[in-house]
């Protein structure tokens, strides 16, 4: 047997924290760590496998031979196997060969804490040593201001493999190429943040990254970890924040992954009613096991600390917190109170968010949670789950359903478009038009719009304008910003050639202008999560399918008047109530010619009248373009 030298990075304090589920920097201890021991260079390995009777490191350095480099189990009952192998350095491939105490099962696993992995479909872990020098100090100093709840928050959601491809080479862009092309594009479009669909290593392309095997490794599909850091650095140096999709809800059954790791249910819950996801054919983490909770929380903090990530969007929260999620009667068991809530999972999420904000108070954690579970974005000390924001799935569903209707029928569904304002301030909501809305036969967002070509694009412009004027943060999936015609295809590039056509170019110009307006007008962001930032003028004009409301900033003079005309019928003298006397100036019109609108209904400066209207003391007569939104401010 080759030499494995006894060595440990764990103190007794580390072990006690790990066992109690309170060690949240486990990546500093577990995994493979190149270091010098007694003057000799090599690599230290540590892996958690309490069900094992033997653990060996196998790799390209020992011809993948079992037993050549056996690790030693710690004496303290922690289940940690560890040791130092001389002469091993950055770039070597390895796995753990684990002989289980359970039915003599032998598994060969990738390192759960590996910092780098082989390019799929290969599955080995790679010894990696970090030597990246960051240049984003300026961003980190001001990040709190950019990530605040009273700051503009406009997110561009991206799937790196399909955003843009090198067609002639039939490949996706690398991290380094994205640091040029994606960064410059996002900056030009005016988005404040990008959100990347999961970039942690995953084996199966059609999972889009949501079934992870390498939780601590950026996927090798686009480059190495330093190159991913370079992409993050470039975003920050251009004042763009970066959010990562993070998946603590489930993991795949791939043989090299976390499932049945040491021949036992180590990471997954042993009861299939809690440990197996019927929809995704995947395994569910055991949130009741201390070491698993520490693994997950350590992973969240790892990306925030080591990669300077500005936020985590937590996937499928509803599937975590409900015992009966996607299960029929008899396929789940109630908790001790007879309810369908997973108390251990809820406790995990609360602890996760407390640790995130304690360590990184200037980041955001964002929940993709599709139910009416209360207090998702309320602090834990107030009885909430502790997230900073929550996706507003109800707004997305109602709005897309409304806009898919022919305008002639919209007056019968007027409540669908205004209903979101009855509950928008119960959470810190982000309005998502995400990848989930443009797959599986749902069509593209443009593809849902009714009418002839002009009306379809006018409807899309109106939808986006309404989204940006509605309270809440914003999220738009790649391709939506120029009116992608077809559904998203993860295997192919976006249809960038569409920008040769005026209607699509008009949509892009609209999004640029909306992002610019959102950043410029305090009334659109300073109070985007509180009731004081919004006031209806009239939500009841179903006959004309017109909505009008006021958005407000911190200062009394920061007020915007917003009017949406949701049919193709133009109005030349549409009276609305306004809060004070003065002159109104049109600052946005989605029917502008540069957006491929008619350009025929621009409002000149409007002087208010003393005639009370809509419960307001004053009123104004406006031109309302067809299928358009217009916004006004007061001339000071």
Q: Say how far apart CA 420 and CA 418 lie, in whole Å.
A: 6
* Dihedral (Cα; 467, 469, 473, 475), 10-degree rounding: 30
Rg of the chain (C-alpha set): 27
CA distances from 182 to 165, 171, 438, 473, 479 (A): 12, 16, 21, 21, 13
CB neighbours (10 Å) of residue 358?
Answer: 10
339 assigned to active site: no
CB neighbours (10 Å) of residue 413?
Answer: 15
b/e burial code for range 268-289 (CB count within 10 A of at least 16 → b): bbeeeebbbbeebebbbbbbbb
- Give the residues across from 588 on adjacent strands: 631
Q: Say how far apart CA 157 and CA 180 lie, in whole Å.
A: 17
Q: Structure tokens of 45? A: 């390995």
Selecting among 14, 111, 201, 315, the annotated active-site residue is 315
Contacts of 390 (CB under 8 A, 6+ apart): 366, 367, 369, 376, 377, 427, 428, 429, 430
Q: Structure tokens of 559? A: 């007020």
315 assigned to active site: yes
Selecting among 82, 233, 291, 368, the annotated active-site residue is 368
Q: Say how far apart CA 131 and CA 150 lie, in whole Å.
A: 36
Which of 154, 258, 280 is closest to 208 using CA atoms? 280
Q: Say how far apart CA 523 and CA 505 lie, in whole Å.
A: 28
The label of the residue with tokens 């684990």 reads: 98
Cβ burial, residue 13 (10 Å; 0-12/13-18/19+)? exposed
Q: Structure tokens of 89? A: 């350095």
Residues serving a catalytic function are 315, 368
């Amino acid at each position: 047997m080759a030499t494995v030298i006894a060595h440990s990075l764990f103190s007794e304090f580390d072990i006690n924290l790990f066992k109690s589920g309170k060690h949240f920097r486990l990546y500093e201890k577990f995994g493979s760590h190149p270091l010098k021991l007694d003057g000799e260079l090599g690599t230290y390995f540590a892996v958690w496998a309490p069900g094992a009777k033997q653990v060996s490191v196998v790799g390209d350095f020992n011809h993948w031979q079992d037993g050549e480099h056996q690790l030693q189990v710690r004496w303290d009952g922690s289940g940690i196997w560890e040791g130092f192998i001389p002469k091993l350095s950055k770039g070597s491939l390895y796995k753990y060969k684990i002989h289980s105490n359970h039915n003599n099962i032998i598994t060969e696993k990738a390192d759960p804490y590996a910092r780098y992995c082989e390019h799929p479909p290969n599955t080995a872990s790679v010894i990696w040593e970090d030597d990246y020098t960051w240049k984003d100090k300026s961003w980190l100093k001001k990040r709190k201001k950019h990530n605040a709840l009273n700051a503009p928050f406009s997110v561009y959601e991206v799937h790196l493999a399909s955003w843009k491809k090198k067609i002639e080479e039939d490949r996706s862009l690398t991290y380094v190429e994205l640091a040029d092309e994606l960064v410059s594009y996002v900056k030009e479009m005016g988005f404040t943040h990008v959100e990347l669909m999961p970039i942690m290593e995953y084996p199966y392309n059609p999972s889009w990254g949501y079934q992870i095997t390498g939780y601590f490794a950026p996927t090798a599909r686009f480059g190495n970890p330093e190159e991913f850091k370079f992409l993050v650095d470039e975003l920050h140096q251009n004042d763009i924040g970066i959010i990562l999709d993070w998946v603590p809800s489930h993991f795949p059954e791939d043989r090299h992954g976390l499932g049945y790791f040491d021949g036992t249910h180590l990471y997954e819950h042993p009861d299939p009613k809690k440990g197996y996801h019927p929809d995704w054919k995947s395994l569910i983490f055991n949130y009741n096991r201390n070491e698993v909770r520490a693994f997950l929380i350590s992973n969240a903090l790892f990306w925030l600390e080591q990669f300077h990530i500005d936020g985590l969007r937590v996937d499928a929260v509803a599937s975590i917190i409900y015992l009966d999620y996607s299960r029929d009667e008899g396929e789940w068991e109630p908790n001790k109170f007879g309810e369908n809530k997973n108390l251990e999972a809820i406790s995990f999420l609360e602890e996760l968010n407390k640790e995130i904000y304690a360590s990184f108070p200037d980041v955001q954690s964002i929940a993709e949670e599709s139910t009416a579970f209360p207090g998702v974005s309320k602090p834990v000390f107030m009885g909430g789950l502790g997230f900073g924001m929550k996706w507003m799935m109800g707004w997305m569903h109602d709005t897309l359903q409304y806009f898919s209707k022919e305008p002639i029928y919209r007056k019968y569904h007027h409540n669908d478009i205004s209903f979101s304002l009855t509950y928008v301030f119960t959470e810190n909501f982000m309005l998502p038009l995400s990848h989930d809305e443009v797959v599986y036969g749902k069509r593209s967002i443009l593809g849902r719009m009714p009418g002839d070509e002009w009306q379809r694009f006018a409807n899309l412009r109106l939808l986006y304008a309404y989204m940006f004027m509605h309270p809440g943060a914003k999220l738009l999936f790649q391709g939506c910003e120029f009116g992608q015609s077809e559904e998203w295809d993860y295997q192919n590039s976006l249809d960038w050639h569409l920008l040769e056509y005026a209607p699509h170019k008009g949509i892009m110009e609209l999004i640029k202008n909306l992002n610019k307006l959102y950043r410029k007008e305090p009334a659109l962001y300073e109070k985007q999560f509180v009731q004081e930032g919004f006031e209806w003028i009239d939500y009841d004009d179903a006959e004309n399918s017109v909505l009008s409301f006021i958005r407000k900033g911190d200062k009394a003079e920061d007020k915007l008047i917003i009017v949406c005309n949701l049919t193709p019928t133009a109005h030349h003298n549409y009276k609305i109530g306004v809060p004070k006397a003065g002159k109104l100036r049109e600052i946005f019109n989605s029917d502008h010619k540069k957006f491929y609108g008619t350009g025929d209904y621009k409002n000149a400066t409007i002087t208010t009248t003393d005639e009370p209207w809509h419960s307001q003391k004053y009123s104004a007569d406006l031109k309302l373009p067809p299928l358009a939104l217009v916004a006004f401010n007061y001339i000071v």
